[in-house]
Amino acid sequence: MNSQLAEGNVTVLEPEEQTGKPVLTIRDMHISYFPRGKEVKAVRGVDLTVHAGETLALVGESGSGKSSVAFASMRGLDAAGRVMRGSVHFHDTDVLALNPSELRRIQGSRIAMVYQDPQTALNPGYRIGDQIAEAVHEHTDMSGAAVRERVLDLLEEVNLPDPVGFYERYPHELSGGQQQRVVIAMAFACNPELLIMDEPTTGLDVTTEAHILDLVTKLKESHGSAILYITHNLGVVAKFCHRVAVMYAGQIVEQGPVSRVFTAPAHPYTRSLLTCIPRLDLSKHDRPLNAIEGRLPNLSELPPGCVFAPRCSESKDQCLSDDIEKVQIDGDEDFVRCVRWNDISTFEFDRNARKTRPKVEASAVEPILDVDNLQCLFRLRRGIVEVATGQGVRNVHAVDGIDLKLGRGQTLAIVGESGCGKTTLGRTIVGLQTATDGTMTFEDKLLEGKARNRSNDVRRRVQIVFQNPDATLNPQKSVGETIGRPLELFGLAEESARETRVADLLQSVNLPAHYASRYPHELSGGEKQRVAIARAFAADPDLIVCDEPLSALDVSVQAAILNLLVELQKTTNAAYLFISHDLSVVRYLSDQVAVMYMGRLCEIGSPEEVFVPPYHPYTEALLSAISLPDPNIDQESIFLEGSVPSPVNPKPGCRFASRCPRKIGDICETENPPLVSYGDHKIYCHIPKEELDKMRPVIRYQGSEDPVV
Amino acid sequence: MSDSTSEHPMIDEVERKVKPPRRVPTSLVIGVSLVFVFIVVAIIGPYITPYPFDQFHFADRLAAPSAEFWLGTDRYGRDIFSRVIHGTQLTVTMAGTGTIIGVSIGLLIGLFSGYIGGWFDEILMRLTDIVMSFPALLLAMLVVAALGSNEINAVLSIGIVFIPKVARVVRSATLGLRNVQFVEAAEVRGESNSYIIFREILPNVWPPVIVETCIRLSYAVLLVVSLSYLGLGAQPPAPDWGLMIAKERAFLVSAPWVVFAPAGAIVLLIIAVNLLGDGMREYLAARKTGDE
């Protein structure tokens, strides 16, 4: 058994480490952008110090100015932005005063940067080895064989298998996670003293993210670099960083050690952020999530007083009058920008939110959708050479034999990493794609072929909500036209009544009725998604496929949309097929969870069953990889080796066998896994039931064996 | 902590911002005004000319520009200023109609080809490949030679030459929208092909179509005058610019105004249309990125 199970906590972070010398010092930084000649004060008065050997997280939602700070500290602002005031020191060097050649000498050799999208950081036309070699060559006096030696060492260090082979590869031959490893290898090529990382794991799957974070932690220790880590993901911060600075609307509202900020957040914004993320021990049956009302203030005309006051539940008159100064909490690097932080009640997670409730047996609910052995293959085009040499037909097995039942008014979540076929499954159900085998029964009717070939009644009752709020609405149509169209098409409201119905629908998604005359570019991302939800509900559907409807939204908006979905389900009794990669969201929203891997189901059951042992080994690995913004839990760390195998003509046996840390033998690679059934909870695995029963919870309350669920 | 989320948290009403007027590129301003002047001249030109375009002044043959004849006269003593002004109507209408024919048919082909795809797309695009493999002027000449040389056939030939080029542009814009989620949402609703094409896709392909139309228009002007220069468009005594250059070119050295006046008008019109196209492109691109 090639078990990779590592015992114990997530990385133990010692707060003492922050006593190192300051590496990067930012003082009173102001950044403005000038779109159409108007000044937008994106960053106002940011003070930040990154000490040697520490990881400082800069967190905030979109528009908070976190990336501007990072770019400006490396003089990388684009033409529209300008540093209005303030200083940036790297050790004792004034970065803003350097001339371009001095700046270049520092960048790359002493300061390195890693950005979100590795594809843009790598030149597609050069071999990756040569690209790393260039970074080494540029900043050291090594040459020839020594450089190559160093590159191979680096490739080895970032855990790429077969460094010699990878040296010769081009970026497109690598997966996203591998590309990001190469970028990290380039960043560490010259032992930088400071590493600036801007959302380096945002586009990656959770299991890959866990790998990358682990890798960066190890490299950081061996190279002794300091890291400025920019992210919106509080879970990653809790797992990976020493100190955290929370930004809101261009200011740091709170800064302090992770251990303090995550357990006793002082600023109301930090508190709201921490409570609007669904936690693993919270479900829709317990209580609604805490969403932050309102939206970011307009940065070109800021009112006096606290920037967060208009959205703050604790604000009083004193918050609105004066500019808010920093208040030190514990040491000069630990502060909060709130006048009332001492007056507001102490922060506590409501651990006991769970109410006892009668468990609804999935089989007790009348199924509205019954998917039986569904298969979607995509045939790859064969080139002339392949046809001539008689090479067989090659199929991508996107969905390969899925059985599901979804009850009326219930939510079935499909979770899995990118490429597991979950989106294809959703698209087949709504009729954007055709199945190659198997059946789908909606009530007593068969769902067949494309939407156009289905009956009007079925089309009306099966709707979809898409992922990307920017693409989901036609930019040339007003909100009223968009929502009114299903009413018109399905004859649900006479022309005279349509306007009132649209207003009702807008009301039901918590938008004011006059939004009907607005166009998509006048709406924020969350508002667009609300309109898309209203459009889906306009048809009065019984089944809505939600294809990652939250993943492009900020966490505070996410919470509000989640609450909305729960509420609408209560009032309309629509069933959701909720496709997501976010396990905490799934935990909150769903009645049933199905875990997918490479087109097959691994495990299905209620969240209370899936999130506790016995697990499918893949579920176990997924749970261990997620980042939770909760320092008071223990989490197992399990690393999956290798990458997802090709979905083209996959091998027989268990799809997960090639990466499974609990593989029991050859049987895994030769025979399809049998169904291990615990009532409604089903696991497809070769491991005997007695073994599965002995599994330990992956996520536990600190110091106990109780699973967090 | 805020608990107000449970009931009906109304989204904060953010005042609808009156957007500051977009910056209009200078080239667009100049282009629009020049094209406007040409259109006005095309409409009222025949009524404001000092002399009829075909009036002979035998005493003043090949006269130099003067107060009497602003741009001089040709070999029959016809006033060149009157002829150029009069000819504006012919050139502008022919170029305009040809462009409209080409753009509207090309637009339809591009939309359907791009949206429907498959064999339909394959066949249409191979056909456009065939048409595009001929040089524009040669193809136009072939069409006119086959149909007979007059103004209407010249306009038709311009339309035919333009169809594949416009179809390509529209097709690629359509392909980019084909799998966008709002189009897929319409498919899930079961909308008909024509609803999706005309109501969902068409409003979003206007920007490239407008820019392409402006570019085509300047080529159309060039094609119109080339055809009539070659004697395949308007026939004498029509005051067509191309025809004027062709007929009077023998006097280029002794009386340069006979050629320079119509040539100047051609150059000015093409510059105007190009400025319009460039300005339009800039303006529409700014609109796309300017709205956050």
Q: What pLDDT, in 10s, does the model give residues A388-416?
A: 877 778 888 899 989 999 999 999 999 99
Question: Nearest chain A Cα to B18, which residue?
Answer: A522
Kindly state whether residues A528 and A578 are assigned to the same domain. Answer: yes
pLDDT at B161 over 70: yes
Residue of A344, A427, A474 best to disrupt the B interface, most CBs of B under 10 A: A474
Q: Is B7 on the interface with A (CB under 8 A)?
A: no
- Write the pLDDT tens digit of every residue in A656-702: 988 899 988 889 988 899 999 888 899 999 999 888 888 889 988 88
pLDDT at A606 over 70: yes
Kindly state whether residues A175 and A210 are assigned to the same domain. Answer: no
Question: Nearest chain A Cα to B188, which residue?
Answer: A451
Pairs of CB atoms within 8 A across A/B:
106
Identify the weakest region by mean pLDDT among A22-31, A399-408, B236-245: B236-245
Boundary of a domain, candidates A580, A610, A640: A610
Kindly state whether residues A425 and A316 are assigned to the same domain. Answer: no
Residue A351 is predicted with a pLDDT of 59
Question: Who has greater pLDDT, B154 or A363?
Answer: B154
What are the DSSP calls for B155-203, one per residue? Answer: HHHHHHHHHHHHHHHHHHHHHHHHTSHHHHHHHHHT--HHHIIIIIIHH
Return the domain boundaries, chain B.
26-259+274-290
Kindly state whether residues A510 and A373 are assigned to the same domain. Answer: yes
Is A11 within a domain? no
Distance from C-alpha of A431 to C-alpha of B188, rounded to nearest angstrom = 6
Q: Provide the 10 A C-beta neighbour count for residue A409.
A: 18
Q: Provide the 10 A C-beta neighbour count for residue A471.
A: 21
Question: Nearest chain B Cα to A453, which residue?
Answer: B190
pLDDT at A324 over 80: no
SS3 A447: coil
Q: Is A46 on the interface with B (CB under 8 A)?
A: no
What CATH number does residue A323 fall under? Answer: 3.40.50.300
Amino acid at A508: S
Kindly state whether residues A616 and A605 are assigned to the same domain. Answer: no
Identify the weakest region by mean pLDDT among A349-358, A479-488, A527-536, B36-45: A349-358
Mean pLDDT, residues A77-89 = 85
Identify the weakest region by mean pLDDT among A287-291, A320-324, A583-587, B77-81: A320-324
Q: Provide the 10 A C-beta neighbour count for residue A446.
A: 11
Residue A473 is predicted with a pLDDT of 93
Residue B6 is predicted with a pLDDT of 35
Beta-strand ranges (E) seen in A567-671 are 575-580, 592-597, 600-605, 633-635, 637-638
- Write the pLDDT tens digit of every residue in A225-247: 899 999 988 889 988 899 999 99
- Write the pLDDT tens digit of every residue in B247-287: 888 888 888 888 898 999 999 999 999 999 889 888 887 66
Question: Who has greater pLDDT, B256 or A331?
Answer: B256
The residue segments making up the domain with residue A640 are 612-709
Nearest to B182 among A474, A486, A511 (CB): A474
Is A703 within a domain? yes
Question: Who has greater pLDDT, A10 or A591?
Answer: A591
A469 — pLDDT class (breaks 50, 70, 90): confident
For residue A468, which residues of chain B lie inside 8 Å, CB to CB? 181
For residue A36, which residues of chain B lie inside 8 Å, CB to CB? 20, 23, 290
Cβ-defined contact of A471 to B181 (cutoff 8 Å): yes
Question: Nearest chain A Cα to B207, which residue?
Answer: A476
Cβ-defined contact of A512 to B11 (cutoff 8 Å): yes
Kindly state whether residues A419 and A549 are assigned to the same domain. Answer: yes
Residue B5 is predicted with a pLDDT of 35
Q: How many domains would you assign to chain A?
A: 4
pLDDT at A354 over 70: no
Residue B150 is predicted with a pLDDT of 84
Kindly state whether residues A201 and A302 are assigned to the same domain. Answer: yes
User: What is the share, in percent, of chain A residues with pLDDT greater than 90?
Assistant: 34
Boundary of a domain, candidates A610, A628, A653: A610
Kindly state whether residues A550 and A522 are assigned to the same domain. Answer: yes
Nearest one of A138, A262, A202 to A554, comparing CA atoms: A202
SS3 A153: helix
Cβ-defined contact of B203 to A474 (cutoff 8 Å): yes
Residue A1 is predicted with a pLDDT of 37
Instruction: Considering only the C-alpha atoms of chain B, give the largest distance between any 2 of them, rounded to a whole number of Å.
Output: 99
Question: Nearest chain B Cα to A312, which residue?
Answer: B2
A121 — pLDDT class (breaks 50, 70, 90): confident
Kindly state whether residues A462 and A560 are assigned to the same domain. Answer: yes
Q: How far is B292 from chain A (nearest CA, A)?
A: 8
User: What is the share, in percent, of chain B residues with pLDDT greater than 90?
Assistant: 43
For residue B2, which residues of chain A lie inside 8 Å, CB to CB? 272, 290-293, 313
For residue B11, which residues of chain A lie inside 8 Å, CB to CB? 293-294, 510-512, 527, 530
A293 — pLDDT class (breaks 50, 70, 90): confident
**Which residues are within 8 A (CB) of B192 and not within 5 positions of it... i.e. 6 or more apart?**
none
Is A670 within a domain? yes
> Residues 133..192 of B with a Cβ closer than 8 Å to A: which?
180-182, 184-185, 187-191
Kindly state whether residues A372 and A404 are assigned to the same domain. Answer: yes
Mean pLDDT, residues A519-523 = 87
Cβ-defined contact of B5 to A522 (cutoff 8 Å): no
Residue A14 is predicted with a pLDDT of 46
For residue A512, which residues of chain B lie inside 8 Å, CB to CB? 10-11, 13
Question: Nearest chain B Cα to A490, which residue?
Answer: B189
Q: Is A486 on the interface with B (CB under 8 A)?
A: yes
SS3 A319: helix
pLDDT at A36 over 80: no
Identify the weakest region by mean pLDDT among A130-144, A582-596, B119-133: A130-144
What token pair was written down for B161?
A: 């030459």
Is A13 within a domain? no
Mean pLDDT, residues A286-312 = 82
Residue A542 is predicted with a pLDDT of 94
Is A10 within a domain? no
Kindly state whether residues A460 and A596 are assigned to the same domain. Answer: yes
Mean pLDDT, residues B223-238 = 86
Is A261 within a domain? yes
Kindly state whether residues A698 and A582 are assigned to the same domain. Answer: no
CATH architecture, domain defined by B26-259+274-290: Orthogonal Bundle (1.10)
Q: Is B20 on the interface with A (CB under 8 A)?
A: yes
Boundary of a domain, candidates A357, A383, A404: A357
What are the DSSP calls for chain B, one per residue? Answer: ---TTSS--PPPPPPPP-PPPPPPPHHHHHHHHHHHHHHHHHHHHHHH-SS-TT---GGGTTPPS-SSSTT-B-TT--BHHHHHHHHHHHHHHHHHHHHHHHHHHHHHHHHHHHHH-HHHHHHHHHHHHHHHTS-HHHHHHHHHHHH-SSHHHHHHHHHHHHHHHHHHHHHHHHHHHHTSHHHHHHHHHT--HHHIIIIIIHHHHHHHHHHHHHHHHHHHHHHHHHHHHTTSSS-TTS--HHHHHHHHGGGTTT-THHHHHHHHHHHHHHHHHHHHHHHHHHHHHHHHHH--
Q: What is the ipTM of this complex?
A: 0.82
Question: Nearest chain B Cα to A450, which residue?
Answer: B188
Residue A361 is predicted with a pLDDT of 58
Cβ-defined contact of B5 to A288 (cutoff 8 Å): yes
Residue B22 is predicted with a pLDDT of 65
pLDDT at B289 over 60: no
Identify the weakest region by mean pLDDT among A36-40, A289-293, B97-101, B189-193: A36-40
A349 — pLDDT class (breaks 50, 70, 90): low
Cβ-defined contact of A291 to B9 (cutoff 8 Å): yes
Residue A19 is predicted with a pLDDT of 60
Residue A431 is predicted with a pLDDT of 92
Is A7 within a domain? no
For residue A520, which residues of chain B lie inside 8 Å, CB to CB? none
